[in-house]
Amino acid sequence: MASRDDMKLSILIRGATLIDGTKRPRVDADVGIDGDQIVFIGDASRLTADRVIDASGKILAPGFIDSHTHDDAALLLDPLMLAKVSQGVTSVVTGNCGVSTAPLADHAPRPMPLSLIASRELHGGASFPDFAGYLGALERSPASVNVIPMVGHTTLRVSAMDALDREARPDEVRAMQALLSEAMDAGAVGLSTGTYYPPAAAATTREIVEVCRPLAEKGGIYVTHMRDEADRCVESIEETLEIGRALGVPVVISHHKLAREQNFGRSLVTLPLIEAAMKCQCVGLDCYPYDASSTMLHQDEARLKGRVRIASSGSHPELVGHELADIAASWGVSLAEASKRLQPASAIYFSMDEADVQRILAFEQTMIGSDGLPSSEKPHPRLWGTFSRVLGRYCRELNLFPLETAIWKMTGLTARTFGIGRRGTIEVGNYADLVVFDAQTVGDRATYENPAQPSAGIETVIVNGEVTFARGVHIGRRAGRVLTRTR
């Protein structure tokens, strides 16, 4: 074994204040990297390295893991992933809200919201009929961040069913199980549903449990954009818990929120419900730090109440950034009719209570996930600003939680929830996914008006031991890998 003095280091990060992703209090330490791994933590005053990064006065943390993304296609189309790297993210979980780019049959329709990540215009029309093909493409053309891939239930439905407005028949369930099994064998960590959305709204609890059998067999996680995040939120949480218990698998409630004014304050009910369930089964949740949501532009009047701002529109790109109510008024039509004319489109919905957002963020077990939509022309600012906003606004300015807790919610907790070993914490032998940032200045700059803005205060981002972002600039490295469950 090498003595400390002749230890070989490719990178030495000197003088940092280390927050290791476990919630342990910060310590001053140097961190040494060799190849793709952390090999030294301590006082490195007698060590040298090929490259030395001075991090004095700065925080060194595990690279952030974005627990909720729609980056499936962006990873291949825009592999530098600047929106993520520039806020300190080194890994992204894909395949959320029921939609994944694979496994998608060639003939399958691509209804919203699947079309956001798998339209025929993306990938030059190419689709990935099997999951292994998608992961192979990511390995041949790596992105700048690691990928933790999931399968979308809606993607399975459009591939295996000839009509989406009903429960799946037994033969269709078997076809979906086979697709999920193949995906799990290829490396998927789990499955997500999006029963809120029309293409999966007719799926029953029974259909979901049956389709998800391979998760129980092979050890996967069940993640859900629930049927209802408004009036029937409690029933939706109960359904999610029931699915987890029926399968004996961990569940994650995606972007937990209480939408619409009559539900404001109900996180006082849902969080204790979730907390109680955690005593009997494995439950996780994530949240983004904004009080507006963003998704496809709905077409039913009821879902268009309140302030709705157009984020993208295929038919009327000139109206991006305008409010739906103004557009409808100028055309002299109903909200639903205006929405129809703007399709295919996505929108930002100002529909949440800031007190709920803060209560959910502050809930100890809540992970941070951006839910950013990279395909929008004017995306929700969460795509660029989620992690730096939690660190700047919610941790430093509003003091919702200590910095150690904020970082744990973005790293150690997330790696543990998705079963990703040797990531999410800074320990000797772990992979060197790291971020150096300035705790005094870190913050989001992305706004609703001007969303594509890199964060303040993020200095260095290292992915698998490769410096990817330095002094606020992406240096072009694409060292990301496909990560799979290790336990």
Strands 59-62 and 89-93: unpaired
Q: Which residue has the tokens 């295919």?
A: 344
Query: What is d(CA 261, CA 250) in angstroms, rounded to the nearest whole number?
Result: 31
CB within 8 A of 299, min separation 6: which ones?
A: 336, 339, 340, 343
Q: Are 116 and 154 in contact (CB under 8 A)?
A: no
Binding mask 175-214 for Zn ion (x = CB under 5 A): ----------------------------------------
Binding mask 73-102 for Zn ion (x = CB under 5 A): ------------------------x-----
Helix (H, G, I), strand (E, B) or coil at 331: helix
CB within 8 A of 411, min separation 6: which ones?
A: 21, 61, 62, 63, 64, 65, 424, 425
297 binds, among Cu ion, Zn ion, none (CB under 5 to 8 A by kind): none
Q: How far is the CB of 135 from Zn ion (least distance, A)?
A: 23
> Letter for the amino acid at 111?
P
Q: How far is the CB of 255 from Zn ion (least distance, A)?
A: 6
404 binds, among Zn ion, Cu ion, none (CB under 5 to 8 A by kind): none
Binding mask 292-331 for Zn ion (x = CB under 5 A): ----------------------------------------
339 binds, among Zn ion, Cu ion, none (CB under 5 to 8 A by kind): none
Residue (309 or 477) nearer to Zn ion, CB = 309
- Chain positions 432 to 451 lying near Cu ion, rule: CB under 5 A, are none
Count, residues in the chain = 487
Query: What is d(CA 246, CA 98) in angstroms, rounded to the nearest whole number?
Result: 19
Query: What is d(CA 317, CA 102) in angstroms, rounded to the nearest whole number?
Result: 28
Q: What is the DSSP string of 10-53?
A: SEEEEEEEE--SSSPPPEEEEEEEETTEEEEEE--TT---SEEE
Quote the Cα angle for 112-116-122, to 5°.
125
Stretch that binds Cu ion, among 71-79, 87-95, 171-179, 366-374 (CB under 5 A): 366-374
Residue (62 or 381) nearer to Zn ion, CB = 381
Residue (13 or 97) nearer to Zn ion, CB = 97
Residue (86 or 101) nearer to Zn ion, CB = 101
User: Which residue among 86, 94, 96, 294 contacts Cu ion (CB under 5 A)?
Assistant: 96
Stretch that binds Zn ion, among 158-166, 220-228, 267-275, 423-431 (CB under 5 A): 220-228
Query: What is d(CA 429, CA 203) in angstroms, rounded to the nearest whole number?
Result: 44
Q: Is 225 in the site for Zn ion (CB under 5 A)?
A: yes
Q: How far is the CB of 227 from Zn ion (least distance, A)?
A: 12
Which residues are registered as beta bridge partners of 150? 190
Residue (31 or 116) nearer to Zn ion, CB = 116
Residue (225 or 389) nearer to Zn ion, CB = 225
Residue (37 or 119) nearer to Zn ion, CB = 119
Q: Is 192 in the site for Cu ion (CB under 5 A)?
A: no
By CB atoms closer than 10 A (0-12, 13-18, 19+), residue 154 is buried
Closest residue to Cu ion, judged by C-beta, is 97
User: Which residue among 210, 356, 371, 459 contacts Cu ion (CB under 5 A)?
Assistant: 371
Q: How far is the CB of 371 from Cu ion (least distance, A)?
A: 4
270 binds, among Zn ion, Cu ion, none (CB under 5 to 8 A by kind): none
Q: Is 226 in the site for Zn ion (CB under 5 A)?
A: no
By CB atoms closer than 10 A (0-12, 13-18, 19+), residue 146 is buried
Q: Which residue has the tokens 């079963």?
A: 419
- Chain positions 245 to 264 lying near Zn ion, rule: CB under 5 A, are none
User: Which residue among 59, 97, 251, 319 contacts Cu ion (CB under 5 A)?
Assistant: 97
Query: What is d(CA 310, CA 306) in angstroms, rounded to the nearest whole number?
Result: 13
Q: Which residues contact Zn ion by CB under 5 A?
A: 97, 225
Q: Which residues contact Cu ion by CB under 5 A?
A: 96-97, 371
